[in-house]
Amino acid sequence: MREARLHGVRDLRVKDADPPVPGPGESLIQVTAVGICGSDLHWFAEGGIGGTTVTRPVVPGHEFGGIVQSGPLAGRAVAVDPAISCGTCARCHEGNSNLCPEVVFAGHGTCDGALREYLTWPDRLLHPVPDALAGTGAALLEPLGVAIHAFDLGHVRLGASVAIVGCGPIGLLLMQVARAGGAGPVVAVEPLTHRRTLAASYALGPAVAPTDDLAGTLASAGVPDGVDVVFEAAGTDAAVAAATELVRPGGRVVLAGIPDTDATALPASTARRKGLTIAMVRRMREVYPRAIRLASEGAVDLDRLVTDRFPLDDAPAAFATAVARTGIKTVITPASTRG
C-alpha cells in the first residue's frame, strides 16, 4: 500500500509500506478520504503543535472515513473517531473522554494517522454512515464534531446572538450549527475574502473583515451591547481580542482556535470589566451520532466546504495548497491511489 509520512518541517514523503494487520477488537479500513486540519498544518509547517514536536516520522491525518474490510462492520462506510481514550480513568468515566490523560490520537505523536490506503482501528470508534455521507462526508464529520462540542461549551440559548471570529472550516461549521440550534443573528468576522463570502452566503447576519467597524457592525445587527456568545476559531491573538470586543458584558467567549505558539494573549482588562466567562475547546466529546444526524438530514452542508481534492501521491502538494489558505477545506483521497 501507499502512505504519506511526515519526517520534519515540510518534509512529507509518499512511499510504499506494508499493510497493517488488525489486532483483537480492531478492523481493517480502506481509507477513502482524509481532511487536512489546521492542526495538521502546524505539524507540517512548524514540525509540532502545543509544545509537542515531531520525534519520529509519523503518518498525519485525523479527519477520515473509509470502508471497513474486516470485523463486525465489514462492507460498511464509516466515520472514524480519531481519539482512542483509555475508558477507565476518572475523566472517561465522567463523560469527558476528550480530556483523558492517556488518550492516543491519530496522526499525533507516535500514533500514525490516516494518510495511507489502509489502517486498523478499534471497532468501538467506527461510526456507520449513510451512503450520502460515505467518503468525503464521513471525513468531515470530525471537524463538525469539534464545532458541535464548541457550540455546547457556549451554552447558547434559543434565539441568542452569536459571533464567529475566523471562518475557516471550523468557523463555517459553527455558523451552520448555530443556525440549526436556533441562534441569531450570527456575526462573522474573517479577513480572507473568499471565506467571508461563503460566511455571508448563509445569510445569518453581517460578515465583515476584522479591520471593519465592529461596533458599527454590532449596531447594524441589532446587538449594540455585544453578542451573547463569541466563538474564536482563528488561533490568533488578534482574533481573541476581537472576540472580547464583540461579546456583551457577562457574555461567554469560546476559544477553539489553535495558536502558532503555545501561548494566547487575552485583553485581561476588557475581559475583567465585562465579567466574561472563557471556555477552551479540547477536540470533542461523544458527538458523532449528532454530527451524522445533522449532516444526513441536511442541517449542515459538508460538501460545500471542500474546495480542493488530491490523490495520496500528491499529498505534499495538498498540504502546500492548504497552507496557502486559498480555499476552504483540502481533502486527500487515499483509496484512489494504487501502488
pLDDT tens digit sequence for 6-21: 999 999 999 999 999 9
Query: Can you give the pLDDT at residue 296?
Result: 96
Query: Can you give the pLDDT at residue 54?
Result: 79
Reading the block at residue 272, the C-alpha cell is: 475583567
In this structure, is residue 292 part of a structural domain?
Answer: no
Are residues 136 and 6 both part of a single domain? yes
Greater confidence, 123 or 55? 123
SS3 annotation, the chain: CEEEEEEECCEEEEEECCCCCCCCCEEEEEEEEEECCHHHHHHHHHCEECCEECCCCECCCCEEEEEECCCCCCCCEEEECCEECCCCCHHHHCCCHHHCCCCEECCECCECCCCECEEEEEHHHEEECCHHHCCHHHHCHHHHHHHHHHHHHCCCCCCCCEEEECCCHHHHHHHHHHHHCCCCCEEEECCCHHHHHHHHHCCCCCEECCCCCHHHHHHHCCCCCCEEEEEECCCCHHHHHHHHHHEEEEEEEEECCCCCCCCCCCCHHHHHHHCCEEEECCCCCCCHHHHHHHHHCCCCCCHHHEEEEEEHHHHHHHHHHHHHCCCCEEEEEHHHCCC
pLDDT grade, residue 267 (50/70/90)? very high
* Residue 135 CB-half CA count within 13 A: 11
Q: How far apart are CA 129 and CA 184, in angstroms?
A: 30
Q: What's the rounded mean pLDDT across residues 108-130?
A: 96
Q: What's the rounded mean pLDDT across residues 156-166?
A: 98
Q: How far apart are CA 159 and CA 117, in angstroms?
A: 45
Asked if residue 289 has a cis previous peptide bond (ω within 30° of 0), the answer is no
Share above pLDDT 90 across residues of the chain, in percent, rounded to a whole number: 90
Share above pLDDT 70 across residues of the chain, in percent, rounded to a whole number: 98
Query: Can you give the pLDDT at residue 170?
Result: 97
203: domain CATH number is 3.40.50.720
In this structure, is residue 323 part of a structural domain?
Answer: yes
Judge whether residue 113 has pLDDT over 90. Answer: yes
44: domain CATH number is 3.90.180.10
Are residues 9 and 134 both part of a single domain? yes
Reading the block at residue 296, the C-alpha cell is: 444526513
In this structure, is residue 287 part of a structural domain?
Answer: no
Judge whether residue 339 has pLDDT over 50. Answer: no
pLDDT in tens, 225-260: 999 999 999 999 999 999 999 999 999 999 999 888
Reading the block at residue 47, the C-alpha cell is: 514540525
Are residues 98 and 175 both part of a single domain? no
Per the CB < 8 A criterion, the answer to whether 188 and 205 are in contact is yes
Are residues 116 and 24 both part of a single domain? yes
pLDDT in tens, 269-308: 999 999 999 999 999 999 999 999 999 999 999 999 999 9
Q: How many domains does the chain have?
A: 2
Query: Can you give the pLDDT at residue 97?
Result: 94
Decide: pTM greater than 0.75.
yes
Query: Can you give the pLDDT at residue 262?
Result: 80
- What does the mean pLDDT of the chain come to? 95
pLDDT in tens, 137-154: 999 999 999 999 999 999
Query: Can you give the pLDDT at residue 55?
Result: 80
Judge whether residue 82 has pLDDT over 90. Answer: yes
Residue in this structure with the C-alpha cell 443556525, named with its chain if needed: 179
Judge whether residue 53 has pLDDT over 80. Answer: no
Are residues 227 and 106 both part of a single domain? no
Judge whether residue 112 has pLDDT over 90. Answer: yes
Query: Can you give the pLDDT at residue 336?
Result: 61
Query: Can you give the pLDDT at residue 259?
Result: 87
In this structure, is residue 290 part of a structural domain?
Answer: no
Among 235, 250, 280, identify where a domain stops.
280
Q: Which domain holds residue 24?
A: 2-140+302-336
Are residues 178 and 238 both part of a single domain? yes
In this structure, is residue 291 part of a structural domain?
Answer: no
Are residues 10 and 123 both part of a single domain? yes
Are residues 180 and 163 both part of a single domain? yes
Are residues 224 and 315 both part of a single domain? no
In this structure, is residue 35 part of a structural domain?
Answer: yes
Query: Which stretch of 46-55, 85-94, 194-203 has the lowest confidence by average pLDDT?
Result: 46-55
Amino acid letter, residue 102: E
Query: Can you give the pLDDT at residue 247?
Result: 98
Closest CA to 154 of 39, 265, 243, 60: 243
In this structure, is residue 18 part of a structural domain?
Answer: yes
Q: What is the largest CA-CA distance in the chain?
A: 60
Are residues 35 and 115 both part of a single domain? yes
In this structure, is residue 289 part of a structural domain?
Answer: no
Are residues 132 and 112 both part of a single domain? yes
Q: What's the rounded mean pLDDT across residues 66-81?
A: 97
Are residues 316 and 255 both part of a single domain? no
Beta bridge partners of 33: 65
